[in-house]
Chain A
């Protein structure tokens, strides 16, 4: 290497996408514009001279610019423009001092086989050299349509990744990469933004309907803070092999998010906005022939049991035939009572209803549930400025999102600001930094489950209830609450208006780094990043709230504050050297210190003194306070070395050692190794190229060991205190889990192999992987007999195995100058199995509701649903008693994991029009639907009309089955009400095949011709019609079969979830 006056600048490699950018005091400036086939500017295109290791990335206006140092400004070189999803193009340029302007027009290509991708530790690598499965999604692919949670926008787009939407607006999105690895631990992937791990914690989402407010609403997952408009691309490291360098956090894969950056030498502004209207996509199919009550009677007196059946919140009441009298039978005490004919309506008495004068007709309100909902509206806008000189660049992005929910008086608001920049401090030192501030606010987030799920009220419901009466009147003339039932429910509008839940998260993600590049092949970087947020939830309950407020006082409240902080400080040494003309070496060596803390403080009281003051000083009942601090530190050393021979054979090895604070001293150091290799067959054996239209072929294989450490404070059994005193006496109780002072981390061994093929000039490509991963040394809270004084004991035992296949097939069926159709299909199949747990232990219960459980059972897939069957004989006939089904033994009724998931994505472009359509498929797996169970118990669902056609004294169902007492076929007739209520907690009936296909995204966009755009003072402009969740095809009745509730392991139990909204609207994009 010659000693020349060289200033090496802009070593941006460590922040992600951008490879090193070199500039010189004098040199050759290379710049230009990259556009798509329709003339639209293409951002995030990597334009570089690989042989000189110089290049740049286009900004939002499609512009790029870089300077080739004087020392290198000679000779003819290949200038290449490439971006994921586009056909790369190369031209030869001759460097000689004069500036070079080179524009590119790139067409869509479906080939995902080649190009630059972001891999572990934010390194950018040629995909063809990777020995592991990594799939990268560009900003355009991600932002086809808009969803408040960025992970929803990834659904259906990456093979090997199962993404389940929340089932409530603003709720948690469940993400699993290659199945579940840990029985009790975390199974969510690690999220890393620009090299800094960030939190995706969530709160709530327990469908069991605990009365604890913090469980029964789904407060969403923290990754939704990321503004999709700030994302340049997302790279998914599918599992332990690709993620091995993350050690004890690698078992569930990693989602690497790279944000957009400013560009050297150019500036631009981009404005995007969209507006969609949201409706519930699926509501239960209700019956409208029978009103509130039981056994055919209903007579409203006080709505709490005083009138005949008037405290009853079921719909097995009188027929909704417009009658004005006779809603109750003649009473036994009445002289007209005939004991031979007791079911005679007393027509001398008017039908009483909660909202209407006596004599008002007893009629259905078929749209009463639907009319509760509003048309929601989601608006979002973003403006981004980028600019730079030859020594510095910056990007500032401001975004806002405003969701008016589909349930009354609910909203989500998000503002984001992201500023990032880089500056060359000297010829060898570059500093970068970013500050991302997010404020995420919610009001009246929808509850899930029994007490707060808003749809719960419509499962226990009178079909005659007039929703308009409840909307119009929340208090009566005397100031008392006005409702259709006073036993079990509050007026749903009153709940929304007078019992607001509000929450807000203030979050700052700060990232700074300094890198030093002493020579062209070596880079040393010191980086520190912090993700800090404060999340405050306030739940107010007005006087009269049945579930939460003590009726002796003026209301109640519950507040909670989370303060979360994760800091990672890393030193990383990276070397890339062409050792010989054929051998390229890549090496890294690094160390990281991770500090995590989470402080939670909560205060609740069920009684306040003065109405409307939800402050602890107004508590009439001594508030219950709780305080919890959780801290963790992990120190790590890691390194990798890879060797690439002649551009076609790469071998890489990695190693990482973690020291975790959550494990016992002397037992807390763990080493995680991995190796992988890839061979580009078409380069190794050039004669293969062209055979059978083959243009590209690569095989790869990898082996890795990674881990999962314990949660903090698992090593010693402790006493739990109570903030509230018994009178004045303090309280302490010993914990129920026997701690284990010898815990070890969980260990995952993973092997994968893959093939990547391209045919016909890469118009058909296939990227497929098979894998096998097994996690042992599971940290299990082994259930022991509670009679021992403890319910469980922490141990290391058990093993889960996942085997699977994933593929991404892309085809360009048609391509011409003006038109192109690209189609890609991704497929993921994972078979998980609990191999063993602990001698004598056959199952671990992950969660449950209404006696049905989700379990990790030996020999079964992780997450089986277990519950009661319907009693049957050996031939499968129901065994009946008194004409009704009976409870059979407990059995495994299904498992929550799908057989396979897939996405079929189509893009059709004709001139300036582009149509995108994404079908998201979820095939197999099971769910337990409590909505259907209670819907039958209460008689609100349409199918419960069976047997009701005849009147109450002549009931109508003869259940097909064998009378258990006699052994003969059943002849006993039972009422519809008795029949449907006999299935309560016979879970078998309500476990459904969770197969569904959704038309997830549709976008029709029009790129304005440049001359029209120019008239709008814009360089480019586009407008699009967008839709999400437009159609759902499923056999699951009455509910949206897709629901997540939380990011946790306990999934598959539905109750009173709001359906994922169907959204239709438009979006615009403008580059002035």
Chain B
């Protein structure tokens, strides 16, 4: 009898233990993530990817810290390390490279897959076009990149191989051709209002696809003129056509609500490091360009009556001590890029809402002008002048220049189209001006054309303007074999990687002499 009670409590414990086991069936459902879904609407993913990709390539990291100094649109007046090329190594640019893939490109790829599953080109084709827009920056800055095997981590490709730049271009041409063609039949599903660029318009996306096709075709025109000729033709005659006015521009209008602001205005809000480059300002001054008062602010010295020079550029690549002496005597970027109040003072402007331009009508016209001058893409040299003038006009209208000023400018003898080699140089110069705020495209075009003449600043740590970017350190440690294969296939000298030339870069490197 005396063991009854112990036996009872033992039984009770075992019952509890059994209860523990019984509870186990709920365990799995408890691990359902209550915060984040396993699936999300294609539109919301597309919006996110657009915002991320545009601020990546036209934003305060890549553009304002590296590209604007390479192309000498801007210069640095304080802590000018970037302007001295001291912040352009792999450690400085790798997040731009890797983030593009694992953030925006992957999201675009998810949208594409959803759209394909929905059998709706209006859903997947914009994602395809945006992918090619991004891949363009990647390959032009780095050379060979993962393309055909990229973005397949969820189907088991953890370490993608690198495609040659030639193959990337072939792939981009094919994708853009398909996107423009497929958009003729948009399908049942559309991104609609979730598309912050074209509000879901299939015909606008066709124009962007074809115009981007033209950009890419022209980019390879010196290394493979035959392909460029064919692809330009395909682009100009693609279904839906190319940009026909500034209304067709691929641009992202920032909400400017303090959360999603134009990235330049975000940077200028707290940093006062940037000034207009002397190279750029001098070019504009030499032709009394009416865009200058829009692109640049009068210097502080001018405003304070200490100087009669209203717009002055800052020499690129000075030492910190030297750069600092220009603080008040050189022009900040124009007030349209400033958010109003900044930590450095009030500069007016409503720059938080300033759009970012992914590709403009003006750029397309300069591509047409060059194609015409060189007899490519079915165009003839006789058409070049008009495309050239139209390009200038489109750029000026895009930036809000008054019609009278445009007329005056176009009437200048030094602006008159000269044709031939000089004409190509004029086209390239105007394109470089029109690409203001897109430092990377301007740098790519400089590498392709050697126009304008760019020299490193006196205190730059390279004695040449870099012609490519180094592959990410993380990529070299994780995906080492594929990166090393890509480096050796391109013949890059590891120790001086900044000198290496990518496939389409045919000019004398590194100096363009």
Chain B, range 53-91, C-beta contacts under 8 Å to A: 77-78, 91
For the complex, give the distance between the alpha carbons of A718 and B154 in Å: 12
Question: Does A628 interact with chain B (Cβ within 8 Å)?
Answer: yes
Instruction: Say yes or no for B303: interface residue by CB 8 A criterion.
Output: no
Interface 0/1 of A502-522, CB less than 8 Å to B: 000000000000001011001
- B226 contacts A by Cβ under 8 Å: no
Residue of A nearest to B138 (CB): A787
Point out the residues of chain A lying under 8 angstroms from B478, CB to CB.
783-785, 841
A716 at interface by CB-CB < 8 Å: yes
Residue on A nearest B36 in the bound complex, by CB: A718
- A606-632: which have CB < 8 Å to B? 606-607, 620-622, 624, 627-629, 631-632
Within 8 A of B (CB), among A542-572: 544, 546-547, 550-553, 571-572
Inter-subunit contact B255/A305 (CB<8 Å): no
Contact (Cβ within 8 A) B258 A620 = yes
Asked if A312 is an interface residue, CB under 8 A from chain B, the answer is yes
Nearest-neighbour CB distance to chain B for A278, whole angstroms, equals 35
The yes or no answer to B295 lying at the interface (CB within 8 A) is no
Question: Which listed segment binds A: B1-9, B383-391, B401-409, B444-452?
Answer: B1-9
**How distant is the Cα of A787 from the Cα of B102 in the complex, in angstroms?**
6
Interchain CB contact under 8 A, B270 and A546: yes
Complexed CA–CA distance, A635 and B2 (Å):
33
Query: Is B489 close to A, CB under 8 A?
Result: no
Given the known A-B contacts A621-B259, A715-B31, are A734 and B45 also in contact in the complex, defined by CB atoms under 8 Å?
yes
Tell me if A294 and B320 are in contact (CB < 8 A): yes
- Closest Cβ neighbor of B102 among chain A residues: A786
A787 and B31: CB pair below 8 A?
no
List B contacts of A664 (CB < 8 A): 28
A592 touches B20 (CB 8 A): yes
Q: How far is the CA of A550 from the CA of B38 in the complex (A)?
A: 35
A308:B324 contact, CB within 8 angstroms: yes
A590 on the B face (CB < 8 A)? yes
Q: Mark A810-846, 1 if CB is under 8 A from B, else 0.
A: 0000000000000000000000000000000111000
- CB of A516 within 8 A of CB of B51, answer no
CB distance from B253 to the nearest CB of A (A): 8
CA gap between A697 and B362 in the complex, in Å: 91
Q: Chain A residues with Cβ under 8 A from B52's Cβ?
A: 733
Q: Does B181 contact A (CB under 8 A)?
A: no
Contact of B488 with A by CB under 8 A:
no
Interchain CB contact (< 8 A) of B102 among A295, A669, A718, A791: A791
B360 within 8 A of A: no
Alpha-carbon distance between A787 and B145 when the two chains are bound, in angstroms: 9
Is B44 among interface residues, defined by CB-CB distance under 8 A? yes
Stretch in contact with the other chain, from B337-345, B418-426, B434-442: B337-345
On chain B, the residues within 8 Å of A974 by CB distance are none
A477 at the interface (CB under 8 A from B): no
In the complex, which residues 313-350 of chain B have their Cβ closer than 8 Å to any Cβ of chain A?
Answer: 320-321, 324-325, 327-328, 339-344
CB pair B194 A712 closer than 8 Å: no
User: CB within 8 A of A591: which of B17, B34, B78, B150?
Assistant: B17
- The stretch of B116-124, B155-163, B496-504 in contact with A is B155-163
| A306 lies within 8 A of chain B by Cβ | yes
B residues less than 8 Å from A550 (CB atoms): 258, 269
Contact B9 A516, beta carbon cutoff 8 Å: yes
| A1033 interface residue (CB < 8 Å to B) | no
Is B196 an interface position by the 8 A CB rule?
A: yes
Flag whether A731 is at the interface (Cβ < 8 A): yes
Could you tell me if B158 and A788 are in contact, using CB atoms closer than 8 angstroms? Answer: yes
By a CB distance below 8 angstroms, the chain B residues around A544 are 343
Return A373 CB to nearest CB of chain B, in Å. 27
Verify if A636 is at the interface (C-beta below 8 Å from B). Answer: yes
The segment from B103-111, B169-177, B204-212 found at the interface with A is B103-111
| B39 beta carbon closer than 8 Å to chain A | yes
A787 to B37, CA, bound (A): 23
Residues in chain A near residue B5, CB distance under 8 A: 518-519
Known: A635-B20, A727-B196, A783-B478. A738 touches B102 (CB 8 A): no
Q: Could you say which of A200-208, A655-663, A994-1002 contacts chain B?
A: A655-663
Q: Which residue of B lies closest to A730 (CB)?
A: B44
Knowing A304-B344, A524-B9, A793-B153 touch, does A785 contact B160 (C-beta < 8 A)? yes
A553 touches B258 (CB 8 A): yes
> What CA separation (Å) do A668 and B28 show in the bound complex?
9
- B20 x A636 contact (CB < 8 A): yes
* B38 and A716 within 8 A (CB): yes
Closest residue of chain B to A570 (Cβ to Cβ) is B16
Residues of A within 8 A of B193 (CB): 729
Q: Is the CB of A718 within 8 A of B78?
A: no
Asked whether B227 is an interface residue with its Cβ less than 8 Å from the other chain, the reply is no
B37 touching A731, Cβ below 8 Å: no
Q: Are B39 and A633 in contact (CB under 8 A)?
A: no
Q: Is the CB of A732 within 8 A of B150?
A: no
Task: Say which residue of B30, B102, B321, B474 sits within 8 Å of A789 (CB atoms).
Answer: B102
A518 to B11, CA, bound (A): 13
**B158→A518 contact, CB < 8 A:** no
Bound CA–CA A869/B154 (angstroms): 37
The chain B residue sitting closest to A524, CB to CB, is B9
A311 is an interface residue with CB less than 8 A from chain B: yes
Q: Is the CB of A733 within 8 A of B259?
A: no
Q: A518-B6, A724-B260 are in contact. Are A789 and B101 (CB under 8 A)?
A: yes
CA distance A970 to B153 in the complex (A): 51
In the complex, which of the residues B16, B20, B320, B475 contacts A786, with contact meaning CB atoms closer than 8 Å? Answer: B475
Chain A residue with minimal CB distance to B26? A633
Chain A residues closer than 8 Å to B160, beta-carbon distance: 785, 787-788
Residues of A contacting B286 in the complex (Cβ-Cβ under 8 angstroms): none
Indicate if the CB atoms of B27 and A731 lie closer than 8 Å. Answer: no
* Residue contact B341 to A551, C-beta cutoff 8 Å: yes
A721 near B: Cβ within 8 Å? yes
- Interfacial chain A residues near B285, Cβ < 8 Å: none
> Distance (Å) between the CB of B472 and the closest chain A CB?
8
Interface contact B6-A571, CB-CB below 8 Å: no
Report Cα–Cα, A729/B48, bound state, in Å: 9
The answer to the question of A425 belonging to the interface, with a C-beta cut-off of 8 Å to chain B, is no
Question: How far, in angstroms, from A437 to B225 measured CA to CA in the complex?
Answer: 79
- Residues of chain A within 8 A (CB-CB) of B184 are none
**Given contact pairs A522-B9, A729-B196, A546 touches B36 in the complex (Cβ within 8 A):** no
Please judge, given known A-B contacts A726-B260, A731-B48, A736-B102, whether A591 and B194 are in contact too, CB under 8 Å: no
Interchain CA distance A593-B158 in the complex, whole Å: 39
A843 and B9 within 8 A (CB) = no
* A627 CB contacts on chain B under 8 angstroms: 35
The 0/1 profile, CB within 8 Å of B marked 1, for residues 579-609 of chain A is 0000000000111110000000000011100
Interface residues of A in 308-329 (CB under 8 A from B): 308-309, 311-312
Closest residue of chain B to A295 (Cβ to Cβ) is B321
What residue of chain B has the Cβ atom nearest to residue A851's Cβ? B91
The reply to whether the CB of A499 lies closer than 8 angstroms to some CB of chain B is: no
Q: Mark A754-778, 1 if CB is under 8 A from B, else 0.
A: 0000000000000000000000000
Beyond known contacts A786-B98, A788-B151, A788-B159: 9 more, CB 8 A cutoff: A309-B321, A526-B16, A593-B20, A631-B34, A635-B23, A661-B28, A721-B37, A786-B472, A787-B102
List 8 A-B pairs, Cβ < 8 Å.
Answer: A294-B324, A312-B324, A552-B341, A589-B17, A637-B17, A659-B21, A734-B106, A736-B102
6 A-B pairs with least C-beta separation: A621-B258, A788-B153, A518-B5, A789-B106, A718-B36, A786-B98
B residues with CB within 8 A of A: 2, 5-6, 8-10, 12-13, 16-17, 19-21, 23-24, 26-28, 30-31, 33-41, 43-45, 47-49, 51-52, 77-78, 91, 97-99, 101-103, 105-107, 109-110, 145-146, 150-154, 157-160, 193-194, 196, 255, 257-260, 269-270, 272, 300, 320-321, 324-325, 327-328, 339-344, 472, 474-475, 477-479, 482
Give the B-binding residues of A (Cβ under 8 A). 1, 3, 294-295, 297, 304-306, 308-309, 311-312, 331, 486-487, 516, 518-519, 522, 524, 526, 544, 546-547, 550-553, 571-573, 589-593, 605-607, 620-622, 624, 627-629, 631-633, 635-637, 659-662, 664-665, 668-669, 712-713, 715-722, 724, 726-727, 729-736, 738, 783-791, 793, 841-843, 851
